[in-house]
Structure 1
């Protein structure tokens, strides 16, 4: 696998991120809430995308995903979003990104890392492989935690 790096998002990543969201999670969103509604999803994206809070996942220098994660209090590091392009899923990119985030969390003094995952999202398997455990059910999501 090529090098996996992160860089800060920029305003011109906007359309890439919307397309990534559709491609990476479209099937899960449809299985959860019904047919993809472009107007609803564009509004969600407009409200969500703040470049300063997002990092772009690069594989060999090419955009391959995104992540949004930060300390939420003195002890908790929260991964609010992680999306990997479908053609890169299963290649180790998600694992590399999450391991990097776990290192960042430790360096920040976090005692736990938390995230939410849609119940129908197969990314749950990756999170469990890395040691995350389900600590709550908040339909249609699961709250997962890893104690560092």
Structure 2
């Protein structure tokens, strides 16, 4: 399957919010965390967001932020119907290319400790560098 991405537009926030809520609500409930649409919307506004597509169909998105230490994947959401078809691997590859192009020291993300996506991240070279009660902080260094 071939993928592309495009810069998110203002009208994409509803798609992204609903997809994230659908995908992440079970984790929020299991870890006794509150889901807030308002918090998602605020974060969306201040991040760089990319819609992942197959032809013209949106199937997921990536939300990014940066600082001097790293490029951060804040959200990587793929619709359930498209999981296991390479979209996540492709998206992380695109973000890794950005890390290299921008000469960032690392790629970082946070994942629920019980999220099976952790296996994907580890296969793509990210390693656990910290943890707390519900989350793992993962990183891939640019010079590795």
TM norm. shorter chain > 0.5: yes
Q: 1:50 maps to what in 2?
A: 45
**Once the 2 structures are TM-superposed, how far is the Cα of residue 127 of structure 1 from its aligned partner?**
0.2
5+ residue gaps, structure 1, are: none
Q: Say which is worse superposed, 49-58 or 19-28, in terms of deviation.
A: 49-58
Q: Which has the higher contact order (CA 8 A, sep 6+)?
A: 1
Q: Which moves more between the two structures, 89-98 or 4-13?
A: 4-13
The runs of 5 or more residues in structure 2 that have no matched partner are: none
Deviation >6 Å, runs of 4+: none
**Conserved 8 A contact 1:71-1:105:** no
**1:26: Cα distance to partner?**
2.2
Q: Deviations over 1:33-73 (max 9, x none)?
A: 26xx6xx4222223222176211111222111111124311
Aligned residues of 1:58 and 1:64 also touching (Cα < 8 A): yes
CA RMSD between the two structures? 1.8
The answer to whether 1:11 aligns with 2:6 is: no
Question: Which of 128, 136, 139 is equivalent to 2:133?
Answer: 139
Distance 1:51 1:84, change over 3 A: farther
| Matched residue count | 142
Match of residue 64 from structure 2: 69
C-alpha contact (below 8 Å) 2:65/2:72 kept by paired residues:
yes
**Shift in CA distance, 110/46, structure 1 to aligned 2, threshold 3 Å:** closer
Q: TM-score, normalised by structure 1?
A: 0.86
